[in-house]
């Protein structure tokens, strides 16, 4: 396998990391504790809501007392250089701010892998996981390590785990936001979850398609859910057609989720901008 680009943006410029890895997942144990964001490119060197990602990065740093002052122009230039040098058709990239040394920013990118065609066409199978983030509003690197055993224990064919609170509320995915349609209304948790960047886009798009309620459904509501989906910055909209081995509604991708996905895809084409 070919190593992926991993560098540190220091006050003195870019320097290679002291490790060599082949994927973003493989880089996790080597990266320092801190806060991070993950996004993807479109058409090589365009991104979606990159400033929103950087806003959340700064907010996450503030919430965990990391003194961060981002030079966004310098960060964007370094990211552009890394993308052009890698020359991937599209990339998934991570920006990590170390707790102990926030002026040294870790950048890593890998070739973008789209959602598998089978999942796009048939929907994803997910299971519920009795687990919650300790600090859901901050995107901290320790969560990548904490959730790894849960990902590794997912049964074959299961695409994602949906976190369930101690009182049975369906919160979010291990690395995504979760939504479900019940009685013609789209529900998604309003608090206790990471405020995903793609979630922000969906909440702006969805009201023209379906009423929206920022409320987490209870696990007991699942038999009555007619459609479901998850979103993340690297995956966009992913339909869910099976939860805990049971079909969601008809077991097919429903009209509301299909419309949300189509509208989101159009929105990304219009809103992506040069890095």
Interval 228-261: pLDDT, tens: 999 999 999 999 999 999 999 999 999 999 999 9
Nearest to 161 by CA among 39, 252, 153: 153
The answer, yes or no, to whether residue 94 has pLDDT greater than 90, is yes
Name which of 85-89, 133-137, 220-224 the model is least confident about.
133-137
The answer, yes or no, to whether residue 134 has pLDDT greater than 90, is no
pLDDT band at 138 (very low <50, low <70, confident <90, very high): confident
Q: How many residues does the chain have?
A: 275
Q: Output DSSP code: residue 140.
A: B
Share of the chain above pLDDT 90, in %: 93
Q: Residue 34 pairs with which residues in a beta bridge?
A: 98
How confident is the model over 106-130, as a mean pLDDT? 97
Q: Say which CATH superfamily domain 117-271 falls into.
A: D-amino Acid Aminotransferase, subunit A, domain 2 (3.20.10.10)
pLDDT band at 156 (very low <50, low <70, confident <90, very high): very high
Q: Output DSSP code: residue 4.
A: P
The answer, yes or no, to whether residue 210 has pLDDT greater than 90, is yes
Kindly report whether the global pTM for this prediction surpasses the value 0.85.
Answer: yes
pLDDT the model gives residue 91: 98
pLDDT, tens digit, for every residue of 163-187? 999 999 999 999 999 999 999 999 9
pLDDT band at 133 (very low <50, low <70, confident <90, very high): confident
Rounded CA gap, 120 and 262, in Å?
12
Nearest to 191 by CA among 169, 218, 219, 212: 169
Rounded CA gap, 44 and 123, in Å?
27
The answer, yes or no, to whether residue 136 has pLDDT greater than 90, is no
Share of the chain above pLDDT 70, in %: 100
The secondary structure element, H or E, covering residue 108 is strand 105-111
Q: Residue 170 pairs with which residues in a beta bridge?
A: 164
Burial class (CB in 10 A: 0-12, 13-18, 19+), 26: middle
The answer, yes or no, to whether residue 1 has pLDDT greater than 90, is no
The answer, yes or no, to whether residue 33 has pLDDT greater than 90, is yes
Give domain 6-111's CATH number out of 3.30.470.10, 3.40.50.150, 3.40.190.10, 3.10.20.30: 3.30.470.10
- Give me the residue spans of the domains in the chain: 6-111, 117-271
Contacts of 246 (CB under 8 A, 6+ apart): 222, 223
Contacts of 116 (CB under 8 A, 6+ apart): none
Helix, strand, coil percentages (3-state) for the chain, rounded to 5, are 30, 30, 35
Report yes or no: 126 and 162 within 8 Å, Cβ to Cβ: yes
Q: Over the range 249-260, which residues count as b (16 or more CB within 10 Å of their CB) and which as e?
A: beeebbebbbeb
pLDDT the model gives residue 170: 98
How confident is the model over 132-152, as a mean pLDDT? 89
Q: Give the distance from CA 89 to its chain's centroid.
A: 20
pLDDT the model gives residue 229: 98
Q: Residue 160 pairs with which residues in a beta bridge?
A: 126
């Amino acid at each position: 396998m070919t190593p992926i680009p991993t560098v540190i943006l220091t006050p003195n410029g870019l320097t290679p990391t002291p490790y060599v890895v082949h994927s973003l997942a493989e880089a996790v144990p080597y990266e320092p504790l801190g806060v991070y964001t993950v996004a993807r490119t479109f058409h090589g060197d365009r991104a979606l809501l990159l400033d929103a990602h950087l806003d959340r990065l700064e907010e996450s740093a503030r919430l965990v007392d990391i003194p961060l002052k981002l030079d966004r122009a310098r960060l964007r230039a370094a990211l552009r250089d890394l993308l052009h040098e890698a020359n991937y058709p599209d990339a998934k990239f991570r920006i990590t701010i170390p707790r102990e040394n926030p002026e040294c920013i870790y950048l890593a990118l890998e070739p973008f892998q789209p959602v598998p065609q089978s999942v796009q066409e048939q929907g994803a199978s997910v299971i519920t996981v009795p687990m919650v983030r300790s600090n859901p509003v901050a995107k901290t690197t320790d969560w990548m390590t904490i959730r790894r055993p849960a990902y590794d224990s997912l049964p074959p064919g299961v695409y994602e785990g949906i976190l369930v609170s101690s009182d049975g509320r369906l919160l979010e995915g291990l690395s995504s936001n979760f939504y479900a349609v019940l009685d013609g209304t789209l529900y998604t948790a309003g608090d206790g979850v990471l405020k995903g960047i793609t979630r922000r886009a969906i909440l702006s798009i969805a009201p023209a398609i379906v009423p929206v309620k920022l409320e987490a459904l209870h696990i007991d509501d699942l038999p009555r859910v007619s459609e479901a989906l998850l979103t993340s910055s690297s995956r966009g909209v992913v339909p869910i057609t099976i939860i805990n081995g049971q079909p969601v509604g008809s077991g097919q991708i429903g009209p509301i989720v299909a419309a949300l996905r189509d509208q989101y895809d159009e929105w990304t084409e219009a809103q992506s901008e040069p890095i």
